[in-house]
A and B are shown apart, each in its own frame.
Chain A
Amino acid sequence: GAVVSQHPSWVICKSGTSVKIECRSLDFQATTMFWYRQFPKQSLMLMATSNEGSKATYEQGVEKDKFLINHASLTLSTLTVTSAHPEDSSFYICSAKVGRSYNEQFFGPGTRLTVL
């Protein structure tokens, strides 16, 4: 149980285009989902926290107009990288939390974005 999927697993796009990444909790309802980005050989940096039906809370330094997050249901959150540029190339990982805030997070397998 507690499986989180991401789609696509990798994407290559041209500079200036927008890319949407989906994060789904497959067998549970996630009250909260998180988006992280990871540059090569670095740690995961939290970008934003999203709760179903409400606006995402972005971490300091993360542009909300650049990284649009929609959490339309308890099983789906999407991250759209708008007008992508090469510096947006990164590994994007989502995670989902079940129920009470102290519970474990379950992580998706990640999406590798390469912007040419």
Chain B
Amino acid sequence: SQQGEEDPQALSIQEGENATMNCSYKTSINNLQWYRQNSGRGLVHLILIRSNEREKHSGRLRVTLDTSKKSSSLLITASRAADTASYFCATLNTGGFKTIFGAGTRLFVKA
């Protein structure tokens, strides 16, 4: 499969709680990106972390990268109902030719 794996596949939380999504991948990468997709819509780029970085923050988002375990996590703090969406990780291989998406996590934030 060209995809990495993400877990959980679906996550349901209450507004105000934190949401953590994990992503594992298979090949050596140059960078890893997280995207959000609302139902039936295009992708929104959230954050990019390079292979030599271990952690990155952007507003309520915190991304970690562990290249030794080939895994990444996305933490959304103080979640809001508007955060309800599917979240995908995507990796750019070291050749830099193409970006491959993980299976995605569907997040439901209940008001």
Q: Footprint of B on A, CB under 8 Å?
A: 34, 36, 41-46, 49, 59, 91, 93, 95, 100-102, 104-110, 112
Which B residues are CB-close (under 8 A) to A46? 2, 98-101
Binary contact readout B23-40 vs A (1 if CB under 8 angstroms, 0 otherwise): 000000011010100001
Chain B 88-110 near chain A by CB (<8 Å), digits 1 or 0: 10001001111111111010000
Interface residue tally for chain B (C-beta within 8 Å): 25
User: A110 to nearest B CB, angstroms?
Assistant: 5
**What's the least CB distance linking B102 to chain A, in Å?**
6
Is B11 close to A, CB under 8 A?
A: no
Which one of B41-49, B53-61, B76-84 is at the interface?
A: B41-49
Contact A102 B104 (CB under 8 A): no
B3 interfacial contact with A, CB 8 Å: yes
Q: Which residues of the partner chain B approach A41 to less than 8 Å between Cβ atoms? A: 106
Which residues from A are CB-within-8-Å of B100? 46
